[in-house]
A and B are shown apart, each in its own frame.
Chain A
Amino acid sequence: MKALAGFAAGLLFGLGLIISGMSDPAKVLNFLDIFGEWDPSLAFVMGGATVTTYIGYRLAWRSAKPALMPDFDIPTRQDIDRPLLTGAALFGIGWGIGGFCPGPAWTALAMGAPGTLVFIATMLAGIALGRRL
Protein backbone atom coordinates (compact mmCIF):
# COMPACT_ATOMS: atom_id res chain seq x y z
CA MET A 1 0.00 0.00 0.00
CA LYS A 2 2.79 2.41 0.96
CA ALA A 3 4.71 1.58 -2.21
CA LEU A 4 1.63 1.99 -4.39
CA ALA A 5 0.77 5.34 -2.77
CA GLY A 6 4.38 6.49 -3.09
CA PHE A 7 4.44 5.55 -6.76
CA ALA A 8 1.16 7.41 -7.41
CA ALA A 9 2.46 10.54 -5.65
CA GLY A 10 5.73 10.41 -7.62
CA LEU A 11 3.86 9.92 -10.90
CA LEU A 12 1.63 12.92 -10.14
CA PHE A 13 4.68 15.03 -9.27
CA GLY A 14 6.39 13.99 -12.51
CA LEU A 15 3.32 14.72 -14.64
CA GLY A 16 3.11 18.12 -12.94
CA LEU A 17 6.73 18.81 -13.90
CA ILE A 18 6.01 17.79 -17.52
CA ILE A 19 2.72 19.70 -17.93
CA SER A 20 4.22 22.81 -16.31
CA GLY A 21 7.25 22.75 -18.63
CA MET A 22 9.69 22.54 -15.73
CA SER A 23 10.98 19.19 -17.00
CA ASP A 24 12.58 21.06 -19.94
CA PRO A 25 15.97 22.59 -19.02
CA ALA A 26 15.57 25.14 -21.85
CA LYS A 27 12.48 26.55 -20.15
CA VAL A 28 14.19 26.62 -16.75
CA LEU A 29 17.26 28.43 -18.13
CA ASN A 30 15.02 30.94 -19.93
CA PHE A 31 13.19 31.58 -16.65
CA LEU A 32 16.54 32.32 -15.01
CA ASP A 33 17.63 34.52 -17.95
CA ILE A 34 15.85 37.65 -16.73
CA PHE A 35 17.87 40.01 -18.93
CA GLY A 36 17.71 37.83 -22.05
CA GLU A 37 15.28 35.24 -23.38
CA TRP A 38 13.07 35.63 -20.27
CA ASP A 39 10.18 33.14 -19.93
CA PRO A 40 8.36 33.84 -16.64
CA SER A 41 6.28 30.61 -16.82
CA LEU A 42 8.06 28.93 -13.92
CA ALA A 43 6.87 31.61 -11.52
CA PHE A 44 3.39 30.20 -12.20
CA VAL A 45 4.63 26.67 -11.43
CA MET A 46 6.08 27.77 -8.10
CA GLY A 47 3.01 29.87 -7.31
CA GLY A 48 0.51 27.13 -8.14
CA ALA A 49 2.49 24.48 -6.28
CA THR A 50 3.15 26.57 -3.18
CA VAL A 51 -0.41 27.89 -2.76
CA THR A 52 -1.87 24.39 -3.28
CA THR A 53 0.60 22.96 -0.77
CA TYR A 54 -0.07 25.77 1.74
CA ILE A 55 -3.81 25.03 1.73
CA GLY A 56 -3.46 21.23 1.55
CA TYR A 57 -0.92 21.04 4.40
CA ARG A 58 -3.32 22.81 6.73
CA LEU A 59 -6.06 20.34 5.83
CA ALA A 60 -3.67 17.38 6.29
CA TRP A 61 -2.50 18.66 9.69
CA ARG A 62 -6.08 18.52 11.03
CA SER A 63 -5.53 14.77 11.40
CA ALA A 64 -3.65 13.54 14.46
CA LYS A 65 -1.35 11.48 12.26
CA PRO A 66 -0.71 10.75 8.58
CA ALA A 67 -2.72 7.92 6.99
CA LEU A 68 0.13 5.44 6.47
CA MET A 69 2.70 6.38 9.14
CA PRO A 70 2.64 6.66 12.95
CA ASP A 71 3.48 10.37 13.08
CA PHE A 72 4.26 13.58 11.20
CA ASP A 73 7.97 14.27 10.74
CA ILE A 74 8.32 17.91 9.73
CA PRO A 75 11.53 19.96 9.71
CA THR A 76 11.76 22.15 12.81
CA ARG A 77 15.04 24.04 12.33
CA GLN A 78 14.79 27.80 11.95
CA ASP A 79 18.47 28.83 12.16
CA ILE A 80 20.21 30.37 9.16
CA ASP A 81 23.63 28.70 9.20
CA ARG A 82 26.59 28.56 6.87
CA PRO A 83 25.84 25.12 5.32
CA LEU A 84 22.34 26.35 4.36
CA LEU A 85 23.74 29.39 2.54
CA THR A 86 26.75 27.64 0.99
CA GLY A 87 24.62 24.69 -0.08
CA ALA A 88 21.91 26.88 -1.62
CA ALA A 89 24.54 28.93 -3.49
CA LEU A 90 26.26 25.80 -4.90
CA PHE A 91 22.89 24.34 -5.87
CA GLY A 92 21.97 27.61 -7.62
CA ILE A 93 25.18 27.60 -9.66
CA GLY A 94 24.64 23.97 -10.73
CA TRP A 95 21.00 24.68 -11.56
CA GLY A 96 22.06 27.64 -13.69
CA ILE A 97 24.63 25.58 -15.60
CA GLY A 98 22.49 22.54 -16.41
CA GLY A 99 18.89 23.75 -16.08
CA PHE A 100 18.09 20.68 -13.98
CA CYS A 101 17.12 20.54 -10.33
CA PRO A 102 16.68 17.05 -8.82
CA GLY A 103 12.99 16.40 -9.64
CA PRO A 104 13.18 17.25 -13.36
CA ALA A 105 16.45 15.29 -13.64
CA TRP A 106 14.66 12.12 -12.45
CA THR A 107 11.77 12.86 -14.80
CA ALA A 108 14.20 13.16 -17.73
CA LEU A 109 15.97 9.85 -17.02
CA ALA A 110 13.73 7.63 -19.19
CA MET A 111 14.30 9.92 -22.20
CA GLY A 112 17.95 8.93 -21.97
CA ALA A 113 19.77 12.08 -23.14
CA PRO A 114 23.53 11.66 -22.49
CA GLY A 115 23.61 14.96 -20.56
CA THR A 116 20.83 13.70 -18.28
CA LEU A 117 22.59 10.40 -17.54
CA VAL A 118 25.83 12.19 -16.66
CA PHE A 119 23.96 14.75 -14.55
CA ILE A 120 22.08 12.13 -12.50
CA ALA A 121 25.24 10.08 -11.87
CA THR A 122 27.22 13.06 -10.55
CA MET A 123 24.17 14.41 -8.67
CA LEU A 124 23.89 11.13 -6.72
CA ALA A 125 27.63 11.22 -6.01
CA GLY A 126 27.23 14.85 -4.92
CA ILE A 127 24.36 14.02 -2.55
CA ALA A 128 26.44 11.26 -0.94
CA LEU A 129 29.39 13.66 -0.63
CA GLY A 130 27.32 16.61 0.59
CA ARG A 131 25.81 14.57 3.42
CA ARG A 132 29.32 13.92 4.79
CA LEU A 133 30.37 17.59 4.76
Chain B
Amino acid sequence: MLPVTPTDFTPLASLAGGVLIGVSAVLVMALFGRVAGIVGITAGAVTQDDRKWRIAFILGLIAAPVLWMLATGGFPAQTVSDNLPGMAIAGLLVGIGTALGSGCTSGHGVCGLARLSTRSLVAVLTFMVFAALTVFILRHGFGAGL
Protein backbone atom coordinates (compact mmCIF):
# COMPACT_ATOMS: atom_id res chain seq x y z
CA MET B 1 0.00 0.00 0.00
CA LEU B 2 2.60 2.54 1.14
CA PRO B 3 6.24 1.89 0.17
CA VAL B 4 8.21 1.26 3.35
CA THR B 5 9.89 4.54 4.31
CA PRO B 6 12.47 4.08 7.09
CA THR B 7 12.06 6.51 9.99
CA ASP B 8 14.47 7.39 12.81
CA PHE B 9 13.81 6.37 16.40
CA THR B 10 13.09 9.70 18.14
CA PRO B 11 12.30 9.00 21.80
CA LEU B 12 12.96 12.52 23.13
CA ALA B 13 11.02 14.42 20.44
CA SER B 14 8.22 11.88 20.66
CA LEU B 15 8.07 12.16 24.44
CA ALA B 16 8.07 15.98 24.24
CA GLY B 17 5.31 15.95 21.60
CA GLY B 18 3.35 13.49 23.72
CA VAL B 19 3.58 15.82 26.73
CA LEU B 20 2.22 18.69 24.57
CA ILE B 21 -0.70 16.50 23.50
CA GLY B 22 -1.29 15.72 27.17
CA VAL B 23 -1.23 19.42 28.12
CA SER B 24 -3.82 20.07 25.40
CA ALA B 25 -6.04 17.26 26.72
CA VAL B 26 -5.74 18.68 30.26
CA LEU B 27 -6.64 22.16 28.96
CA VAL B 28 -9.77 20.77 27.31
CA MET B 29 -10.75 19.17 30.64
CA ALA B 30 -9.90 22.21 32.79
CA LEU B 31 -11.60 24.70 30.46
CA PHE B 32 -14.47 22.76 28.90
CA GLY B 33 -14.86 19.74 31.20
CA ARG B 34 -14.72 17.32 28.27
CA VAL B 35 -12.38 14.55 27.07
CA ALA B 36 -10.22 15.57 24.10
CA GLY B 37 -11.29 12.83 21.71
CA ILE B 38 -10.73 14.07 18.17
CA VAL B 39 -13.63 12.12 16.71
CA GLY B 40 -15.96 13.25 19.50
CA ILE B 41 -14.90 16.86 18.97
CA THR B 42 -15.30 16.50 15.17
CA ALA B 43 -18.80 15.02 15.44
CA GLY B 44 -19.74 17.48 18.19
CA ALA B 45 -18.72 20.39 15.96
CA VAL B 46 -21.80 19.56 13.88
CA THR B 47 -24.21 17.96 16.34
CA GLN B 48 -23.69 19.68 19.71
CA ASP B 49 -25.27 23.01 20.72
CA ASP B 50 -21.96 24.23 22.07
CA ARG B 51 -20.02 23.87 18.86
CA LYS B 52 -17.84 26.99 18.69
CA TRP B 53 -14.94 25.71 20.79
CA ARG B 54 -15.03 22.39 18.93
CA ILE B 55 -14.83 24.04 15.50
CA ALA B 56 -12.05 26.29 16.84
CA PHE B 57 -10.16 23.23 18.17
CA ILE B 58 -10.26 21.55 14.73
CA LEU B 59 -9.11 24.82 13.13
CA GLY B 60 -6.21 24.84 15.61
CA LEU B 61 -5.23 21.30 14.54
CA ILE B 62 -5.36 22.37 10.88
CA ALA B 63 -3.34 25.55 11.58
CA ALA B 64 -0.53 23.71 13.42
CA PRO B 65 1.58 22.79 10.33
CA VAL B 66 1.10 26.32 8.96
CA LEU B 67 2.52 27.79 12.18
CA TRP B 68 5.27 25.15 12.00
CA MET B 69 6.14 26.29 8.48
CA LEU B 70 6.19 29.97 9.47
CA ALA B 71 8.53 29.13 12.36
CA THR B 72 10.87 26.66 10.64
CA GLY B 73 10.54 27.51 6.93
CA GLY B 74 9.13 24.16 5.85
CA PHE B 75 6.23 21.79 6.40
CA PRO B 76 6.83 18.83 8.75
CA ALA B 77 8.10 15.59 7.20
CA GLN B 78 5.24 13.51 5.90
CA THR B 79 4.79 10.50 3.62
CA VAL B 80 1.17 9.93 2.58
CA SER B 81 0.17 7.08 0.29
CA ASP B 82 -0.86 8.01 -3.27
CA ASN B 83 -3.09 4.94 -3.48
CA LEU B 84 -6.35 6.92 -3.45
CA PRO B 85 -8.78 3.97 -3.39
CA GLY B 86 -6.76 2.55 -0.49
CA MET B 87 -6.86 5.87 1.37
CA ALA B 88 -10.61 6.15 0.71
CA ILE B 89 -11.17 2.73 2.30
CA ALA B 90 -8.83 3.61 5.19
CA GLY B 91 -10.71 6.85 5.91
CA LEU B 92 -14.09 5.15 5.76
CA LEU B 93 -12.99 2.40 8.18
CA VAL B 94 -11.43 4.92 10.56
CA GLY B 95 -14.59 7.05 10.50
CA ILE B 96 -17.09 4.21 10.95
CA GLY B 97 -14.89 2.41 13.48
CA THR B 98 -14.23 5.39 15.73
CA ALA B 99 -17.87 6.53 15.65
CA LEU B 100 -19.15 3.01 16.38
CA GLY B 101 -16.50 2.34 19.03
CA SER B 102 -16.97 5.81 20.59
CA GLY B 103 -13.35 6.88 20.34
CA CYS B 104 -9.97 6.93 18.67
CA THR B 105 -6.31 7.12 19.65
CA SER B 106 -6.95 10.28 21.68
CA GLY B 107 -10.40 9.62 23.18
CA HIS B 108 -9.80 6.00 24.19
CA GLY B 109 -6.00 6.12 24.04
CA VAL B 110 -4.79 9.23 25.84
CA CYS B 111 -7.92 10.41 27.70
CA GLY B 112 -9.51 7.02 28.38
CA LEU B 113 -6.30 5.46 29.71
CA ALA B 114 -5.69 8.57 31.86
CA ARG B 115 -9.20 8.08 33.33
CA LEU B 116 -8.26 4.41 33.98
CA SER B 117 -11.31 3.31 31.97
CA THR B 118 -11.50 -0.44 31.35
CA ARG B 119 -13.67 0.18 28.29
CA SER B 120 -10.97 2.39 26.78
CA LEU B 121 -8.20 -0.08 27.63
CA VAL B 122 -10.09 -2.84 25.81
CA ALA B 123 -10.64 -0.52 22.82
CA VAL B 124 -6.95 0.47 22.71
CA LEU B 125 -5.73 -3.14 22.85
CA THR B 126 -8.24 -4.09 20.14
CA PHE B 127 -7.31 -1.34 17.67
CA MET B 128 -3.58 -1.76 18.29
CA VAL B 129 -3.75 -5.50 17.59
CA PHE B 130 -5.88 -5.04 14.46
CA ALA B 131 -3.67 -2.21 13.19
CA ALA B 132 -0.48 -4.23 13.70
CA LEU B 133 -2.08 -7.28 12.04
CA THR B 134 -3.15 -5.14 9.07
CA VAL B 135 0.36 -3.74 8.61
CA PHE B 136 1.82 -7.24 8.95
CA ILE B 137 -0.49 -8.62 6.25
CA LEU B 138 0.08 -5.66 3.90
CA ARG B 139 3.88 -5.67 4.31
CA HIS B 140 4.81 -9.27 5.00
CA GLY B 141 1.73 -11.41 4.28
CA PHE B 142 -0.41 -12.18 1.26
CA GLY B 143 -1.12 -8.46 0.87
CA ALA B 144 2.53 -7.60 0.26
CA GLY B 145 1.98 -7.44 -3.50
CA LEU B 146 -0.96 -5.04 -3.32
Contact = CB atoms under 8 A, between A and B. Distances in A.
Contact of A75 (B31, B55, B117, B132): B117
Nearest to B100: A87
Interface string A97-133: 1111111011111110111101111111111111101
B51 to A, nearest CB: 10
Interface in B120-143: 122-124, 126-136, 138-140
Main secondary structure of the interface of A (DSSP, over half): helix
Interface of B: 1-2, 4-11, 13-36, 38-39, 42-43, 50, 52-68, 75-84, 86-102, 104-106, 108-119, 122-124, 126-136, 138-140
A124 B118 CA distance: 27
A7 B10 CA distance: 28
Given A10-B59, A115-B83, A5 B31 contact: yes
Contact of B126 (A8, A18, A71, A88): A88
B2 A26 contact: yes
Given A123-B94, A126-B94, A14 B60 contact: yes
B4 to A, nearest CB: 5
A128 B5 CA distance: 33
